[in-house]
Amino acid sequence: MTPDPSAAFLSVTVVGGSNMDVSAKAHSAVTAGDSTPGSIQYSPGGVGRNLAENLARLGARVQLLSVVGDDVFGRQVVASTAATGVGVDAMLTIAGQRTATYLSLHQPDGEVAMAVNDMDILESLTPEVCAASPALSDANALLLVDCNLAQPTLAHLLGLKRKVVVDGVSVAKCRRLVGLLAGVYLLKLNHLEASALSGLPVDTPEQCPAAVQHFLDGGVERVIVSHGASGLAWGQLGAEPFFRQSRKVRVVSSTGAGDALLAGAVAALLAGKVMKDAVEYGVACAEITLSSTFANSPDLTDAAVRHHMSKNA
């Protein structure tokens, strides 16, 4: 793959959400108000934490600034994250608060039917806490943030004059980025988030490139807008947006696929790859994750991604 020297960094610092994922998958179509047989499991999650774990699995040097409660879930999240190779020295334990939790219910095909998130503890990750953290002392590290963070914290981090990657997280939370996007190195949104943030209709895959162009015109350097199983659009300053259709893959669970996509793209950019190659690498990471019951596939490695890409070339 052709290198892009302007995109090479030494490491990544992730600032964002850590939580415990409690995931249920129904064996038959979910009926409102009724109990549906299925399977339930729990595992460490959170957009920021997932991104950090995926990056570590792909060989990046990464540290995580996040918060957990002084409870069983919190201790499990920190220990499990450290075991994947993520630096957790900057993670904070907040006494008297519960660790953030994400509860999701999936249809038999793996698609999310509904979800509830309890992320109040992330309000503790204030601009003052971030400013005092040694995790942000490395000016050469790429900074990756998610919109689980409060708007003042996002504003602080995006004002640090660093190369910043941003994940929109959700329709409600991506709106915290209004007025803050100029100069962002890479912005990743799904089509619903892109519509909410741009005001443009992004109902169909064909409308995704226009949304990408909107953010490029606003000063974002690189943009990815995904449209579920249809594919994604991507673009960068000085190049016309392009829509890439998805391959058909077996879906066990869609949870974490978007995180894997962004982590893969960032890992490739860390290695100096051009945007097109970074997107292809990220898509391969997402495809591997779609076939896993976990939001972070234990099978995700650089070697596995390269093998997957060679099989589908």
If one compares 58 and 119, the residue with the highest pLDDT of the two is: 58
pLDDT of residue 155: 97
Strands 231-236 and 112-118: unpaired
Encoded tokens for 199? 């005001």
The distance of Cα 172 from the centroid of its chain, to the nearest Å, equals 16
- The answer for residues whose C-beta is within 8 angstroms of residue 118's C-beta and 6 or more apart is 19, 98, 100, 101, 102, 103
Position 31 confidence tier, pLDDT thresholds 50, 70, 90:
confident
Does the pLDDT of residue 213 top 60, yes or no? yes
Does the pLDDT of residue 7 top 50, yes or no? no
Does the pLDDT of residue 1 top 80, yes or no? no
Nearest-CA neighbor of 190 among 286, 103, 107, 119? Answer: 286
Does the pLDDT of residue 2 top 50, yes or no? no
For 155, list phi and psi in degrees, rounded to 5: -60, -40
Position 9 confidence tier, pLDDT thresholds 50, 70, 90:
low
For 303, list phi and psi in degrees, rounded to 5: -65, -40
pLDDT of residue 42: 87
Does the pLDDT of residue 300 top 70, yes or no? yes
Judged by average pLDDT, the poorest of 1-10, 67-76, 261-270 is 1-10
Judged by average pLDDT, the poorest of 100-114, 147-161, 270-284, 292-306 is 100-114
Position 169 confidence tier, pLDDT thresholds 50, 70, 90:
very high
Mark 141-167 as b/e (b = at least 16 C-beta within 10 Å). Answer: bbbbbbbbbbeebbebbbeeebbbbbb
Strands 12-15 and 142-146: parallel
Q: CB count, 10 Å around CB of 137?
A: 9
Locus of tokens 């390269």: 306
